[in-house]
Structure 1
Amino acid sequence: MDVAFLIAGPSIWCRRTQHATAAVFSLPVVAKLDAGSSTAILGCSNLPPLRRNSRGRRRRIRRVGRNIGMPRSAARMVASPNATGHIGKHIVAASVRHGHPTSVLIRDAAPADLAKAQLLKSFIDSGVALIKGDLFDHNSLVNAIKHADVVISAVGTRQLDEQRRIVMAIKEAGNVIKRFLPSEFGSDPERVHTVDPAATLYAGKVSLRRLIEAEGIPHTYVCCNGFAETYLLSIGDVTAVGAGPPADKITVLGDGDAKGVFVVEEDIAAYTVRAIDDTRTLNKILYMRPSANIVSHNELIALWEKKAGRTFQQIARIPEADLLKLIKEAAYPLNMMLSHSLSVFVRGDQANFDIEPSFGVEATELYPDVKYTTVDEYLDRLL
């Protein structure tokens, strides 16, 4: 099976469109190399394509033109837009571990950002092919999709509406794919209760769902709930995301009793890759609700205090009415984070409904062999 991971993240800024753009897509390479070649790199100015010699070692090969092909013997292909994004890089890694020949479509093969350059090098070292490409190049999407079985999008918040381009490309390619996974990777947009700006974002996701279904595209919607690196790193304090565990003071939204679901990014990727060719997830929502990771903010705080051996001197609680006012007054991106968190930490929208077989399946039930990281284990990393 050929698989195209159209994976993009919010961290790359596109000068042409003035949007945070998908810097990396995994796309099938459709031109030809000689018969013995393996996955190759396209559009990388510093590194020519790789092939394996008779001893199985990789060596550089000369360029054969603008389009470079994948091996004829490959059973499946994993292609990606912006694998350098927050979740995209994890999906690429999971794809490689799962044995899929993987390609990454990139806007810039030699980025000035050292971290991104090192990430691309790590992709190459693991056998991933880099291909020059762009989400906004319709022809490149159509050509890639014609040679793919599965398309996965992990575009960031600012690009969610652009996924209609992928849908249109799938249709123009003849609707040949076996599965499309649009960029959801969060709460179920049809079961949240929040306000703008998050409400508008979720409405856009729902609209895309209806378009996918109307076009008859086979699909799986991945609702992984909360990213561990977003919420757990700050012990659930959404006013200090990315800052690490608070020292003395922590902010709690509402009464802190609503249950949220928090999943480590590597586990999200592992479950996603397992689901792409599973008939049980076809035209269903894949929920990720690891039982050990369904916790309230109060429970999370108590767990951390026990591990850290100290208590917070001050817990600042923001009632819902005050939170709604704060959301209106805050600028982006804080207002987006707070409106998401209203749904998660105040209204408990990630865990307050039953998953019915008519619309959804749960990842840990489908794949009990995947050992997920518990909230307790993740907090140990922060000590």
Structure 2
Amino acid sequence: MAPKSKVLVVGGTGYLGKRIVKASLAQGHPTFVLQRPEIGLDIDKLQMLMSFKELGARLIEGSFSDHRSLVDAVKQVDVVICAISGVHFRSHNILYQLKLIEAIKEAGNVKRFLPSEFGIDPARMGDALEPGRVTFDEKMIVREAIEAANIPFTYVSANCFAGYFVGNLSQMGTLTPPKGQVTLYGDANVKAIFLDEDDIATYTIKTIDDPRTLNKTVYLRPPENILTQRELIGIWETLIGKQLEKSTMSEEDFLASMKGMDYAAQVGVGHFYHIFYEGCLANFEIGKGEEDASKLYPEVKYTRVAEYLKRFL
């Protein structure tokens, strides 16, 4: 059996990054985590890095303001996974990924790069609403830089993170289940795809040594978690043994609600629109140059939505 690839996680203390570090270790990969001096006095991040070290990860110092340090870090591994939080795409920090790409290109040894995507596939969002389309446009800039540099890649489309879409029954402005009343988006019969974040990390690490996923987009589509909002709410109602009061928000009212919101809110609400009114996550078939992780890795025991919701009882 070929040795497991050595993995560098950039953004390892982030929301998804910490899970990717643990999944990499759990699957037996020599795992490295970039430790940036910019951490400063953030004691939580420092302690998280130390906990990774205790689990067997190696910390590599490097900074986006020091190109040579990035090149030196990249040279020690086979695979680089960037897990910089998605919020960074709405700031100057898109430059971080472009700088990382330059370091990978110069190092010349990386067998696979996974950029920080993990949400809606940006290649399918060319007609997304403003201002939310900035997220997709900037991710496409990163993809274009990767491919122009001839860097081997895998793009992971992980759809809806459970922490933000399941526990709250996909209600905006809360992370916990509503107790009495719930808002339906349109007829609430549009399919979305929900994933536990630990499962996203597990699937992601599965792809990195798999020749079937080289230079492809991998969609995470666990079949039992492809649900409408109405089905999601129904699962919660079954668990609590009662029906929630439901109101419906039309497409027109939903779009009108964006007016007056600040920029960041408009970006997030725009993404909600594409997911729950247009069905952008599940309204297409996986085609050439794409793979379905559920079919590639049927052995993964992913968390079902009902299991996830039980934690809120």
User: Under a length normalisation based on structure 2, what TM-score does the superposition of the two structures give?
Assistant: 0.91
How far, CA to CA, are the matches of 2:230 and 2:165 in structure 1?
A: 13
Q: Look up the match of 2:25.
A: 96
Give the C-alpha shift of residue 108 in structure 1.
5.2
Deviates more, 1:154-163 or 1:257-266: 154-163
Letter in 2 for 1:364: S
Q: Secondary structure at the match of 1:329?
A: coil
Structure 1 segments (4+ residues) deviating >4 Å: 108-115
Q: Look up the match of 1:121.
A: 50
How far, CA to CA, are the matches of 2:79 and 2:165 in structure 1?
A: 30
**Aligned with residue 206 of structure 1, among 126, 140, 146:** 140
Give the C-alpha shift of residue 111 in structure 1.
6.5
Contact 1:145/1:170, CA 8 A, preserved across alignment: yes
Give the C-alpha shift of residue 377 in structure 1.
1.5
Give the C-alpha shift of residue 296 in structure 1.
0.7
Q: Secondary structure at the match of 1:238?
A: coil
How far, CA to CA, are the matches of 1:323 and 1:213 in structure 2?
A: 37
Identity %: 42
Q: Look up the match of 1:60.
A: none
1:85 aligns with 2:17: no
Give the C-alpha shift of residue 132 in structure 1.
3.0
Q: Look up the match of 1:34.
A: none
Q: Look up the match of 1:347.
A: 278
1:360 aligns with 2:298: no
Q: Look up the match of 1:154.
A: 83
Structure 1 unaligned runs (5+)? 1-73
How far, CA to CA, are the matches of 2:179 and 2:148 in structure 1?
A: 50
User: Under a length normalisation based on structure 1, what TM-score does the superposition of the two structures give?
Assistant: 0.75
**Aligned with residue 227 of structure 2, among 266, 278, 295:** 295
Q: 1:298 to 1:274 in 2, by over 3 A?
A: same
Give the C-alpha shift of residue 324 in structure 1.
1.8
How far, CA to CA, are the matches of 2:235 and 2:5 in structure 1?
A: 43
Contact 1:260/1:295, CA 8 A, preserved across alignment: yes
Deviations 1:191-216 (A, max 9, x none): 23531222111011122222222221
**Aligned with residue 164 of structure 2, among 230, 235, 260:** 230
Q: Look up the match of 2:120.
A: 187
Q: Secondary structure at the match of 2:168?
A: coil
Contact 2:190/2:229, CA 8 A, preserved across alignment: yes
Contact 2:4/2:209, CA 8 A, preserved across alignment: no
**Matching of residues 302-313 of structure 1 within 5 Å:** 302-313=234-245
Aligned length: 307
Q: Look up the match of 2:312.
A: 382
Letter in 2 for 1:287: Y
Q: Look up the match of 2:151.
A: 217
Structure 2 unaligned runs (5+)? none
Give the C-alpha shift of residue 332 in structure 1.
4.1
Q: Secondary structure at the match of 2:60?
A: strand
Deviates more, 1:286-295 or 1:250-259: 250-259
Give the C-alpha shift of residue 354 in structure 1.
0.2
Q: Secondary structure at the match of 2:178?
A: coil
- Larger Rg belongs to: 1
**Matching of residues 65-76 of structure 1 within 5 Å:** 76=5
How far, CA to CA, are the matches of 1:121 and 1:311 in structure 2?
A: 46
Q: Secondary structure at the match of 2:124?
A: coil
**Aligned with residue 370 of structure 1, among 286, 300, 306:** 300
**Aligned with residue 194 of structure 2, among 232, 249, 262:** 262
How far, CA to CA, are the matches of 1:200 and 1:316 in structure 2?
A: 31
Q: Look up the match of 1:53.
A: none
How far, CA to CA, are the matches of 1:204 and 1:286 in structure 2?
A: 19
How far, CA to CA, are the matches of 1:295 and 1:252 in structure 2?
A: 14
How far, CA to CA, are the matches of 1:283 and 1:110 in structure 2?
A: 33
Q: Look up the match of 2:36.
A: 107
Deviations 1:169-220 (A, max 9, x none): 122223x211111111001112235312221110111222222222211111
How far, CA to CA, are the matches of 2:37 and 2:244 in structure 1?
A: 45
Give the C-alpha shift of residue 329 in structure 1.
2.1
How far, CA to CA, are the matches of 2:78 and 2:285 in structure 1?
A: 31
Give me the CA root mean square deviation. Answer: 2.2
Contact 1:81/1:134, CA 8 A, preserved across alignment: no
Give the C-alpha shift of residue 82 in structure 1.
2.3
Deviates more, 1:274-283 or 1:145-154: 145-154
